[in-house]
Amino acid sequence: MIPYKLAVRKDSSTIIQISCQGRLCLIGEGNLTVIAGPCAVESEESILINAALVKKMGAHILRGGAYKPRTSPYSFPGLGEEGLKYLALAKRETGLPVVTEVLDVRDIEKVMEVADLLQVGSRNMQNFPLLQELGRLKVPVVLKRGFAATVEEWLLAAEYIMSGGNHQVILCERGIRTFESSTRNTVDLGVVPLIKELSHLPIIVDPSHGTGRWQMVRPIAKAAIAAGADGIMIEVHHNPREALSDGDQSLNPQNFARLMTEVGRIAEMEGKRGVSCKL
């Protein structure tokens, strides 16, 4: 018996609609959605530069972390509410919808004032009180796979959100932990066609966290789209060497522009609409 009742595959695939300042952004079957931006919101100036950059190059959604769950307590933890204010400003200036991570049920309300999509990170994939609270909302949720989670555990985490009434769930493969140490994680691209078989939910891939190395981001992003992913989430920074978080896996403007050209070609070959935001 299949334990996930709502996430299980059905006749049609779910397409998530995000509306922002007169634009409609579609995530799901037939569309290729690019989410891009810096790992962390570092300052007002930095997020505005990066937001303008990724918009100019064709990204559909702006990413940026105001709250950062870091392995080390001494690493940059994000700007918190100040970072949300800067994200709101970037959203107003570019018209891009925003996705940012929510770590705690106590932060949901203030994050929702800015974000068009809420991200649940790998560490919180099985934070069941958080998932249940997100299930009561009417906002799209990007659910990242836990770095030690099976596919069934991942889909059951989605089920927690959906069983509360919120069916707007986007699955995100961001690499799993294996014995391999030469990359940050091991990207499980086989999960993309598997999810397409098991579930109706859209799936995107994060090759930045998946590899931890900017040199590998473009190849894995292209492979993800060829495998059938509905989108990619890319870390982009105008000066990765000075990034306060994850600079080693962030694309600079030149490499992101190259990636956008390449994925557009692959999307066309795969029959996906390369531009999913429509005026």
Domain that holds residue 172: 20-271
Assign residue 122 the CATH number of its domain.
3.20.20.70
CA distances from residue 134 to 40, 87, 131, 210 in whole angstroms, order as listed: 22, 21, 5, 25
Asked whether residue 147 is domain-assigned, the answer is yes
What is the rounded distance in angstroms from the CA atom of residue 196 to the CA atom of residue 235? 25
Q: What is the pLDDT of residue 277?
A: 42
**What span, in angstroms and rounded, lies between the C-alpha atoms of 107 and 91?**
19
Instruction: State the virtual CA torsion across 199, 12, 144, 256 in degrees, nearest 10.
Output: 130
Tell me the C-alpha distance between 59 and 251, whole Å.
13
Number of domains in the chain: 1
Q: How far apart are CA 221 and CA 98, in angstroms?
A: 20
Distance CA 271, CA 31 (A): 9
**Does residue 41 sit within a domain?**
yes
Q: What is the pLDDT along the chain (279 residues), one digit of tens a residue?
A: 899 999 999 889 999 999 887 788 999 989 999 999 999 999 999 999 999 999 999 999 999 999 988 778 878 788 999 999 999 999 999 999 999 999 999 999 999 999 999 999 999 999 999 999 999 999 999 999 999 999 999 999 999 999 999 999 999 999 999 999 999 999 999 999 999 999 999 999 999 999 999 999 999 999 999 999 999 999 999 999 999 999 999 999 999 999 999 999 998 888 888 654 443
Distance CA 104, CA 90 (A): 23
Burial class (CB in 10 A: 0-12, 13-18, 19+), 194: middle
The pair phi, psi for residue 179, each rounded to 5°, is -70, -15
**Which uninterrupted H or E stretch holds 193?**
helix 191-198
This prediction's pTM: 0.95
- Give me the phi and psi of 50, to 5 degrees please: -70, -35
Note the Cα 3 to chain centre separation in Å: 25
User: In the β-sheet with 23-28, what is the strand arrangement from edge to edge?
Assistant: 15-20, 23-28, 277-278
2 assigned to some structural domain: no
Residue 9 lies in a domain: no
